[in-house]
Amino acid sequence: MAKDSMAVSSLLWTLFLISIIFSLQSKSQEEDIPITRFQQYLRINTAHPNPNYTAPVSFLINQAQSIGLTSKTFEFVSGKPVLLLTWLGSNPNLPSILFNSHLDSVPAESEKWIHPPFSAHRTTDGHIYARGAQDDKCIGVQYLEAIRNLKSRGFSPLRTVHISYVPEEEIGGFDGMMRFAASSEFRDLNLGFAMDEGQANPGDEFRVFYADRTPWEFIIKAEGIPGHGAKLYDNSAMENLMKSVELIAKFRETQFDFVKAGKAANSEVISVNPVYLKAGTPSTTVRFVMNMQPSEAEAGYDVRLPPMADPDVMKKRIAEEWAPSIRNMTYTVKEKGKLRDHLGRPIMTPTNDTNPWWSIFKQAVEATGGKLAKPEILASTTDSRYIRSLGIPVLGFSPMTNTPILLHDHNEFLKDIVFMKGIEVYESVITALSSFKGVSDQVL
């Protein structure tokens, strides 16, 4: 009797254990499905040069269909499609929200990776290795997974939500977001707010970016009377160029001192870095003629201006101090972007209560237990600048905490749990932003 009941209870116990193991397994398999889709997207090679956008676009259209989003493809430049997915809001007259990511990636040197860059190999401790894992295929998939989850819970947005996938970001966006942002199709979206890529943080706060710096290519050139290498005389081309080089170096030092003293971040000052020097009289036998002072000398600089910098002050400084015609100097400045929007305002998105979208975004991130780091200016550039220069607020955000910054690096990876947490963060962010009724609702 006692023996029988023990047998029964041990049988029940075994069944109980089996059912627990089974449910745990199916739970982890369920969690694996978004990760599998992320891996599938990562395995599509869209690295430069000449990325082929056919496969990623058809993959994303399939994903969109499976969750009931409509899709449109625009080809402003042949072979370089912009994909737009749409989740219609219950009040499509309200300004809509856009979530952007780019389809392309920088190249990868396979032989320098511990796992092949387009294998999306997942290690036992959850690291997913792939070119694009951080920059920025993670967000491209997270947007979709978040919407999939919101739909399965029966959520419906008040405002229309768009997701865009653009080509060519890594080479400047000229055939991608630049064209799209200038199009009537873009204007018709009637955007109120947009989100674009950000960067990882090794710490445990989410980074968020409210502006990009604007690059200028700056070249100065000096001319002067050539002379014998042994002769001492004033106003040679070399002497005139060196005067400018010294002045520019001094300016660079004052800017860098702010950073060194902890008064500003790298991205908050004007950087002026020399990138080339060109002078001398070439010779066929030795590299340069050594007993000759040349008649021309040139230097090139990479200049980056934060949004609050005054472009007119900078131009005046160049014309009057760095390359004055009185010193027989000429210069060219190639502005690779704008510093002011169509209303003359600095191209930056306010991150205080004057911008209701900021407050909603911040609360939505905090509602998931996350914490935002102090908003930053990005030292380089992204496609956000094309949208911000239309006067539309944009935040750069890729939810990656406790993650080394590996964009464009060998062995780029993202951990599975970080990827999954990002989906949860976007669920909260999409819900909050798309439910925003309007400015009158704003709680300050």
What is the Cα Rg of the chain in Å? Answer: 28
Q: b/e per residue, 370-388, with b = 16+ CB within 10 A? A: bebeebbbbbebbbbbbbb
Determine if 359 is a binding residue for ligand NAG (CB under 6 A): no
Pairing assessment for the beta strands 271-279 and 296-305 based on DSSP bridges: antiparallel
312 an active-site residue? no
> Closest residue to ligand NAG, Cβ-based?
235
Strand-strand pairing, 96-102 and 161-166: parallel
Residue type, 290: M
Q: Rounded distance, CA 414 to CA 399, Å? A: 11
Neighbours of 363 (CB within 10 A): 13
Please, which residues have CB within 8 angstroms of residue 118's CB and are 6 or more apart in sequence?
42, 43, 44, 45, 108, 130, 131
Binding mask 176-215 for Zn ion (x = CB under 5 A): ---------------------x------------------
Active site residue 169: yes
Residue choice 81, 173, 198, 224 for contact with ligand NAG (CB under 6 A): 224
Q: Measured from the CB atom, is 334 or 345 closer to ligand NAG?
A: 345
Scanning 11-19, 349-357, 380-388, 392-400 for contacts with ligand NAG by CB under 6 A, the matching segment is 349-357
Among 25, 54, 62, 70, binds ligand NAG (CB under 6 A): 54
Which residue do the tokens 């023996």 mark? 3
Sort 42 into a burial class: Cβ within 10 Å, 0-12 / 13-18 / 19+: buried
Cβ 224 to ligand NAG shortest distance, Å: 6
Binds ligand NAG by CB under 6 A, chosen from 240, 293, 381, 382? 240
Selected from 1, 352, 374, 443, the binder of ligand NAG by CB under 6 A is 352
Query: Out of 135, 169, 197, 223, which one is annotated catalytic?
Result: 169
**Collapsed DSSP state (helix, strand, coil) of residue 351:** coil
Which tokens in the block code for residue 29?
Answer: 């398999």
Closest to ligand NAG by CB, 174 or 233: 233
CB of 55 to ligand NAG, least distance (A): 4
Least distance in angstroms from the C-beta of 65 to ligand NAG: 18
Joined tokens for residue 170: 């890594």
- Candidates 104, 135, 376, 416; binder of Zn ion (CB under 5 A) is 135
The residue written with tokens 């080089």 in the block is: 245
Residues with Cβ < 8 Å from 386, sequence gap 6 or more? 173, 177, 178, 180, 181, 182
Backbone angles phi, psi at 86, to 5 degrees: -135, 135
350 part of the interface to ligand NAG, by CB under 6 A? yes
Residues between 157 and 216 with contacts to ligand NAG, criterion CB under 6 A: none
Q: How many residues bind ligand NAG (CB under 6 A)?
A: 12
Q: Are 436 and 163 in contact (CB under 8 A)?
A: no
Per-residue contact track with ligand NAG, 299 to 338, x per CB under 6 A?
Answer: ----------------------------xx----------
Residue numbers at the binding site for ligand NAG (CB under 6 A): 52, 54-55, 224-225, 235, 240, 327-328, 350, 352, 354
Q: Which positions are catalytic?
A: 104, 169
* Contacts to Zn ion by CB under 5 A: 135-136, 197
